[in-house]
Amino acid sequence: MAAPVRILTACRTAILNANVTVFSLRSRKCSALPHTDVQKEYSSKWVRRKFIDFFKEQHGHRVVPSSPVRPRGDPSLLFVNAGMNQFKPILLGAADPHSEMASYRRVVNSQKCVRAGGKHNDLEDVGRDVYHHTFFEMLGNWSFGDYFKEEACSMAWRLLTQEYGIPPERLYVSYFGGDAASGLPVDEETREIWRSLGVRGERLLPFGMCDNFWEMGDVGPCGPCTEIHYDHVGGREASALVNADSPELVEIWNLVFMQYNREPDGSLRPLPQQSVDTGMGLERLVTVLQGQQSNYHTDLFSPILTAIHQCSRVAAYRGRTGEMDDGKVDMHRSGLVLRRILRRAVRYFSEVLQAPQGSLASLVPTVAHILGDAYPELHKETERIMDVINENEDHFLSALRQGRRVIDRTLGKMAAHETTFPAPVAWSLHRNLGFPLDLVQLMLEERGKGLDTQHLQQLEQQERERAQVQAQADDSVELIDVHSLAQLQKEGVPHTDDSPKYHYSLRHDGKYVFPACRATVLALYGVAPGAAAAGLLDAVHEGQSCRVLLDRTCFYSQQGGQEHDLGYMTKDGLQDVLFPVEDVQLVGGYVLHQITATETLRKGDHVQLHIDEAQRLACMVKHTATHVLNFALRQLLGGGVAQRGSHVSAHRLRFDFSVKASLSVSELQQVEDLLQQIIQEDLQVHTQEVPLALANQIPGLRTVDEVYPDPVRVVSVAVSVSDLLEGTSRRPSSVELCCGTHLLRTGAIRDLVIISERQLVKGISRIVAVTGDDAREARETGNVLEQEVEALSARVAAATSPSLHDAQRLAKDVGQLTDAVEGTPIPQWQRRVLQTRLKALQRSTNTSIRKQEIKEAGLKAQELLEKHGSRPLVVGTMDTDSISVVVKTVNRYSELSPGCMVLLLAPQASSGKVLCACQVPKGSSVLASDWAVAVCGHLGGNAGGSATVAKGVGTAKAEHVSRALRWAQQYAEGRQESGTHT
């Protein structure tokens, strides 16, 4: 993203959703709540605060801030789409025991959510009813092994009917009615709880798996749910409208009881710990309490709609959808999030609302005013968010104009009866211009056309397969299931002591020492022979894959962007038998070592661990280099630089960061110079564990969007952590929270070269860098290529008047050297310099080629004119290996003999190909494109061009060329006689 997602999404999505104004007035008029005299007090801010305070003050819930809408470390989600997403580690039993999250028992918050993709996608519902959104706030309360059904239902009913004052007669409740196929009974417990709270039987309705059984995904925690629905009309019996997608009776609160785990084989097993996960849409609740007929008539949206009206050229929002929404103006005030959705909003703003460019960004202050109390980061970043929106708008409007021309041109070529737009064109717009396919489809729907979805699916399949392969690579081996984790915890198996991963030292000779680590096997996790699923084992045997849990380990588990250690373990008494460690992962405080057993390994065995020292040291070098690079970028470019991601391997480092534009040659050089200075000073790298709250007070501390343990490890270069905490040092230094393994002094980096720097998207750049010998090799290679460019420049300068062959040879050499410069690891600043010089050389050689081609074509045309005179039709051959010369020759011949139709063939003895070009006068009965296509087709090739000039390539033996010439002349004469363009 081009700005911090935790800031941008909340703001931009709200802005874009303001464009989607939805409401349909049905035959039945909705009535307001009876307490209209106090409705003005129910502001959205008050409603949100009332919810939080109710659970915090009256029921002891801990208030947890909203997480960013980009999920932390969860590749299964595109966006946070429910309030429970940030609590998945707790539900899965995998929370870091040292993190604050591990202590959660009952919590409450308001979570920013986006539903614009994946399993929960409300994109196409927005603008078609009054209660769906793509960006919304989810009010929720959770219990993790604390209270369950009775308390959850009781709290919800009291809050709605007593604290908010919603009349109980407006409420309907649904519960899980069981599912015979899954072996699940009716949730009678929940039904009886609601009856005890006063819900009448006719208002208490059972539903099946689709409506009242909630699942996190294809596998994972799940359970029955009970939902509370609100009737906007009132004074009637409306149970038939529950779960019927009626805008008059909508769900406002869902209470999920996490009781089961969906296993990989589809079966359900009871969870070790029961939890409660509730979610209530703030927008729907505010609509109810403010007595409105649509979510978009509340104070969450009306100020934004007013701002939109002021900057657009259409009438104010009228609250209409479907056929009543003339021109689709109200529905097109739709908006989603991030780049794909921003583009849709940009198009609607410019084309439908006819608002001037920049209007979209002008809504940011309004949105910040509405949501700023709940999400104060909006106030701090208002100007930056506006810049991001304006930059993206400018970029997309340019692409939109180009894409619209492509669509218009394609539609213009389609016959009137054709209704299906060609899929390859849509796919090209998507791949080459970044057009979302749903946007293409919307633009076509407005023209009464559809997409060839079957063909499009075939084109998309390749992309999906590539993504699937990557996903399978990421999730190919299940780490450990929730039941096995619970069993370990129940049996009191201690969490792995992985502090030995930091137990290494630096000798006086500059060598790092990584001592071996002795450990005991506490558990083995794998699939037993004949078993269908993985579980805890007492032993594994030769050839069997498993994950080994030890009481302590010196292996680094993959986290914080650093790859895991490699190495091996040996069993006491079998020191000559190695158990290679292929993968190391951390789950819920347990470090799991992936091995394929080379001998029998049992629970209780004693082992000795040996890491791959070269691989570990290489990762340490890259990780410390990443910190130093982050520091150097901030020093040179300012505090606006923020880390957006990183990855550290033994071979190279990758660093993503926010910056307005790609770095210049000078900036790249300055960054490397500062890095060299830090490396040469051989500064000490300090590490210390400190309480998280204390660490956050360190001036200049860099953090990324992660959940940090408490205490947390602070890594500082040059300045000790104690000095940072005491505030006694004034020296600028690299200081970050980091669990990775680092060098003890910066000198071991030896050298660092940035070999790539490019913008991933507007505002986000990615640097790839190498260190040590790889950096030295990159510099040496860069110098060699620079010398080759120097030599080639001298050759081009010396060739003041080269022949066509020599000019073509020089151009080829320039092209080959350009490929080498672009594809070889060298310093990026040097690459940019050499690319600039090579582009100048390419222009110079191309100019020489054009001059020589024009000269040669003039001579050839003069020869042909002397041979054929001023005949109206000339068909002949010429000697050249350049199609460009053939084209220029027919051009020149036509200039010398106006009104003449000319076609020339140039046989290539070495390849057997025949080059072809032709030109005809304007208005001729023979089209040049048809003539070239016919002749090249006769020669087994193809051609293309315009009505006056065309070219192509065919294949023929030398003795067949004369026959092709006769056929070409006969074709032209026949078309002249018939006077048609057929």
Residue ranges of the annotated binding site for Zn(2+) are 623, 627, 738, 742
How far is residue 936's CA from residue 944's CA, in Å, rounded to a whole number?
Answer: 10
Cα 973 to chain centroid, rounded: 60
How far is residue 438's CA from residue 491's CA, in Å, rounded to a whole number?
Answer: 52
Report whether 248 contacts 150 (CB < 8 A). Answer: no
Q: Which two tokens stand for residue 295?
A: 């979510």
3-class state of residue 587 by DSSP: strand
Paired with 269 in beta bridges are: 261
How far is residue 933's CA from residue 941's CA, in Å, rounded to a whole number?
Answer: 8
Report whether 593 contacts 548 (CB < 8 A). Answer: yes
How far is residue 224's CA from residue 301's CA, in Å, rounded to a whole number?
Answer: 33
| Residue 540 half-sphere exposure toward CB, CA atoms < 13 A | 25
How far is residue 839's CA from residue 181's CA, in Å, rounded to a whole number?
Answer: 68
Q: Rounded to the nearest 5°, which phi and psi values hold at 768?
A: -120, 130
Report whether 177 contacts 204 (CB < 8 A). Answer: no
Q: Give 314: exposed, middle or buried? Use CB within 10 Å, 0-12, 13-18, 19+.
A: middle
Structure letter (DSSP) for residue 231:
E
- CA distance to 77, 182, 514, 740, per residue, from 462 (Å): 21, 35, 45, 37
- CA distance to 31, 365, 380, 642, per residue, from 383 (Å): 41, 9, 8, 16
Q: Rounded to the nearest 5°, which phi and psi values hold at 513?
A: -115, 125
* End-to-end CA gap in the chain: 53
Structure letter (DSSP) for residue 713:
E
How far is residue 701's CA from residue 715's CA, in Å, rounded to a whole number?
Answer: 10
How far is residue 168's CA from residue 285's CA, in Å, rounded to a whole number?
Answer: 14
**Residues comprising the binding site?**
623, 627, 738, 742
How far is residue 470's CA from residue 465's CA, in Å, rounded to a whole number?
Answer: 9
How far is residue 36's CA from residue 410's CA, in Å, rounded to a whole number?
Answer: 56
Task: List the 913-919 sheet strands across, edge first.
Answer: 873-877, 901-907, 913-919, 949-955, 942-945
Report whether 879 contacts 907 (CB < 8 A). Answer: no
Q: Which two tokens stand for residue 238?
A: 């409306």
Report whether 627 contacts 715 (CB < 8 A). Answer: yes
> Do β-strands 220-231 and 171-176 pair in parallel, antiparallel, or remain unpaired?
antiparallel
Report whether 735 contacts 716 (CB < 8 A). Answer: yes
- Quickly count: other Cβ atoms within 10 Å of residue 289's Cβ: 24
Biggest alpha carbon–alpha carbon distance for the chain: 109
Q: Which helix H or strand E contains 211, and what residues bound it?
A: helix 209-212
Q: Which helix H or strand E contains 347, and what residues bound it?
A: helix 338-347
Radius of gyration over every alpha carbon of the chain, rounded to an integer in angstroms: 35
Report whether 184 contacts 308 (CB < 8 A). Answer: no
3-class state of residue 605 by DSSP: coil
How far is residue 645's CA from residue 628's CA, in Å, rounded to a whole number?
Answer: 15
Q: What angle do CA 119, 125, 126 make, to 5 degrees?
A: 115
How far is residue 293's CA from residue 280's CA, in Å, rounded to a whole number?
Answer: 18
Q: Which two tokens stand for residue 528?
A: 């037993």
Angle separating helix axes 437-445 and 382-413, nearest 10 degrees: 60
